[in-house]
């Protein structure tokens, strides 16, 4: 595969932006959410990975939704993207432990609200549910592969129980 030496793994509280067509940005999500945002005209994109919906004190902490999305969008704009062309795909937000509060759903709702308030169109994604996900994102094309993980996840060759929308390839 072309990307064997150009895979960038984004962990909690990080983001990465690239305009290199050989780069693949990856992450693994449970209740966390990743926004894959790209500009299809100048062919640049990036992914973040945040843990919590609302910052109680430090509103610049990119472990939280608003700061993570703002940081990613600002990085894209600094590198030539135009806000009016940005498209987003959202993933994650699973309810990993049923007996605890549904932080995954809160993360998903926060991400959708922030992008809507910023005027960034959400074109597809896969949010909530009970399974973790592995995400691969090609930032110059906006292409995404998603694999559900865990006991409840179907084998990669089957169609997922929850239909994903838009340009998402399941593996």
- Residues with active-site annotation: 32
**Cα 142 to Cα 82: distance, rounded to the nearest angstrom:** 15
- Helix (H) and strand (E) counts in the chain: 2, 10
Residue with tokens 């990080």: 14
CB 76 within 8 A of CB 14: no
9 — phi, psi (to 5°)?
-95, 125
């Amino acid at each position: 595969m072309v990307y064997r030496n150009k895979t960038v793994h984004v962990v909690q509280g990080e983001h990465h932006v690239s305009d290199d067509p050989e780069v693949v940005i990856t992450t693994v999500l449970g209740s966390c959410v990743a926004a894959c945002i790209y500009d299809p005209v100048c062919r640049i994109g990036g992914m973040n990975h945040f843990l919590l919906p609302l910052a109680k004190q430090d509103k610049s902490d990119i472990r939280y939704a608003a700061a993570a999305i703002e940081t990613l969008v600002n990085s894209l704009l600094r590198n030539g993207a135009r806000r009016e062309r940005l498209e987003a795909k959202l993933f994650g937000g699973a309810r990993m432990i049923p007996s605890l509060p549904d932080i995954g759903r809160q993360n998903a709702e926060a991400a959708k609200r922030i992008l809507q308030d910023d005027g960034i169109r959400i074109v597809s994604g896969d949010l909530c549910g009970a399974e973790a996900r592995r995400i691969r994102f090609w930032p110059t094309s906006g292409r995404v592969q998603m694999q559900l993980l865990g006991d409840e996840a179907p084998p990669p060759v089957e169609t997922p129980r929850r239909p994903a929308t838009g340009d998402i390839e399941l593996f």
